[in-house]
Amino acid sequence: MRATLPATLLLSALLTACASTSDIPVSKHISQSGALRVHPGLLGQPVPAELQGEGAPASAVAKATDDAPIKMDETGLRTQRSVYFDLDNAAVKAEFEPALQAHGRYLASHPAAQVRIEGNADERGPAGYNARLGQKRADNVRQAIISNGAAEKQVRIKSLGELRPKLKGHDEESWAENRRADVVYEKED
């Protein structure tokens, strides 16, 4: 009972401090704005002009196949460089198609630019299997980029298998982060 008393007091003090809104203008209170919303850019969606920050370039916009704009930065698409895969799978998920379309269009309009697709796998499975799986993942991403306008000579692949994990843990979160193919720009205009 004694061990929980300091924890209870600490929690109580923390909640009291968090509940204080006297330093925050009423116009900024969450309760005043209604339901919480997630910024479209965090979901990979186009960001409306009224939500873009002042530093965001408005000039570079590419069209997706459904004519919905994909926001680009000054030197091409940089917001989505990793494509994630399911366990023991090399199929590109539909959610990554807009980003791969934008990379393909960027490369098509910049013939001197080159990318390397690095295929990765999580640590589970034999090294040879993981190397082959990384190769398949990289090749599928390469084909998606080429089918969207990039020249074959602009896109090369490399399998890293399990050798370069993004997260070094031994849990599902780490494994999911490591099942990926990364688009690495080697040469740009």
Q: Which residues contact 143 (CB under 8 A, 6 or more apart)?
A: none
Q: Where are the alpha helices (DSSP H) in 65-155?
A: 97-109, 127-146
8 Å CB contact between 82 and 146: no
Measured N-to-C along each axis, helices 127-146 and 97-109 cross at an angle, to the nearest 10 degrees, of 60
Q: What is the CATH number of the domain that holds 154?
A: 3.30.1330.60
- Is residue 44 one of the residues assigned to a domain? no
Q: Which amino acid is at 134?
A: G
pLDDT tens for the chain, 189 residues long, are 455 556 666 556 555 555 554 555 555 544 444 444 555 555 555 666 665 554 443 333 333 333 444 444 544 455 689 999 999 999 999 999 999 999 999 999 999 999 999 999 999 999 999 999 999 999 999 999 999 999 999 999 999 999 999 999 899 999 999 999 999 998 765
- Is residue 47 one of the residues assigned to a domain? no
- Is residue 87 one of the residues assigned to a domain? yes
- Is residue 35 one of the residues assigned to a domain? no
Instruction: Please give the helix or strand (H or E) that residue 118 lies within, else none.
Output: strand 114-120
- Is residue 30 one of the residues assigned to a domain? no
- Is residue 29 one of the residues assigned to a domain? no
8 Å CB contact between 148 and 100: yes
Q: Which amino acid is at 63?
A: K
Count of domains in the chain? 1
The whole domain housing 148 covers: 54-187
Residue 73, number of CB atoms within 10 A of its CB: 11
> Which of 186, 94, 106, 91 minimizes the C-alpha distance to 145?
106
Check: pTM over 0.75? Answer yes or no: no
Give the CB-side neighbour count of residue 169, counting CA atoms within 13 A.
Answer: 8
- Is residue 162 one of the residues assigned to a domain? yes
Q: Where are the alpha helices (DSSP H) in 34-189?
A: 97-109, 127-146, 172-178
**Residue 141 backbone dihedrals phi, psi, to 5 degrees:** -65, -40
- Is residue 16 one of the residues assigned to a domain? no
Residues present in the chain in total: 189
Q: Which amino acid is at 185?
A: Y
